Structures are given as C-alpha cells and as structure tokens.
Amino acid sequence: MAKGCPALVLAAGASKRLGQPKALVEIGTTTLVGLAVRRLFAAGCEPVVVVTRQSLQFDVMTQALNATVVVNADPEGGRTGSVQRGLLALMGDKGRTPRKVIIAPVDRPGWSTEHAVQLMEHDVTTTLSCAGKKGHPLLLHDPDIERILAANPNAPLRDLIRPQSCEVDAPYLSLNIDTPEDLGALAEVQFGLLDG
C-alpha cells in the first residue's frame, strides 16, 4: 500500500444552482463532506484539511470529524484560492510544503477509499480516470504545488496543471452534485458510493 499523504477537501463553493450547501448534502448517515473526510482517513491520508466558507464553518466542523477546517475568506475567487488556503494550512501544520497532496472536491463523490490509495502510488500530478474520462480526486505533486502557491488565486486550476491519468473502475466518477437534478442521481446511487 502506498504511503499516505496530506489531503484537502474543497467545500467552499456557494452552491447557488443546487440551492443548499453541497458539503452538507446527506448521503446515508453522513454528508458529502463527512464521506470525503472518512474515505481520505481510511486511505491513510493525514492530516486532512477541509477548506470551506465562513458561513459553513461550524456545520462543516461538526461533519468533518478529526479534520482541520479552515476558511477561504474569498471563496468567490475560485478553486485555486481554496487550494492555496488549504496548502498554507498544511504548511503551518507540517512546517514545510508537502511533497504531494490529494485534492478532493466535495461535490464529486464518485470515488472510493481504494481509488485514493491507487492515486497516492503516483509520483507526478495525477487524476482519476474511468473509460478515458477524467474525474476527481486529484493528486498534486511538486513542482505543481509550488506553481499553484505562486499563482493568482483567481487563475483557473486547469490552466496551472496538466495531470496524468490513473485509470480506475469507477462507474460514478463523473457524478457532479451541482443542481437539484443531481441530488436525484445521488439518491439512486448512494448505496454504491457508501461501499467505498
């Protein structure tokens, strides 16, 4: 089994189209943020940092057990700013820049603990892929971590990195919880997701 690494859960989005906080969407007896944190710890990731917005901080803390919860003061600025905030929290915790880190957006739950373990076996920036279609989470590796830390927080993450693919058997990898219709899709597959 690959040695664990730190992980970030991105949970700072406004969820405007969904109409409720994505991080707190219920799945089984937990929430999307609780599920992501549980899987990352089970995969050997430590520490796990959840990046959220000020208005969700308390509720996320109650769901993200044993994780560190930090606030992105400008969540509207985009995902890169949230990744930077999480990386800075990891640097404070470890006293140095991590060599690699898993990034897991809370609204993309179609992966499992085993998928995170497979991802950590790579020595370059890599993302999960199923049937040639890329998904999440993402393993960031140096020098991409340094590039992201030096970037404008509003720069799209896709413009900063070019991840390789880690092909896995993950039929729900493309599931993206973004609209009320997506909640119906989540309800249909939730028991398959809870297995991992």
Determine whether 72 is exposed, middle or buried from the number of CB atoms within 10 Å of its CB (0-12, 13-18, 19+).
Answer: buried
Ramachandran region of residue 44, left (φ > 0), alpha (ψ -120 to 50) or beta? left
- The domain spans of the chain are 7-185
Adjacent-strand bridge partners of 134: 129
Distance of alpha carbon 14 from alpha carbon 47, whole angstroms: 25
Question: Superfamily assignment of 7-185 in CATH?
Answer: Spore Coat Polysaccharide Biosynthesis Protein SpsA; Chain A (3.90.550.10)
Q: One digit per residue, pLDDT tens: the chain, 196 residues?
A: 457 899 999 999 878 888 889 999 999 889 999 999 999 999 999 999 999 999 999 999 999 999 999 999 998 888 999 999 999 999 986 678 899 999 999 999 999 999 999 999 999 999 999 998 999 999 999 999 999 999 999 999 999 999 999 999 998 999 999 988 888 888 888 777 776 5
Can you tell me whether residue 129 is helix, strand or coil? strand
The total of other beta-carbon atoms located within 10 Å of residue 164's CB is 14
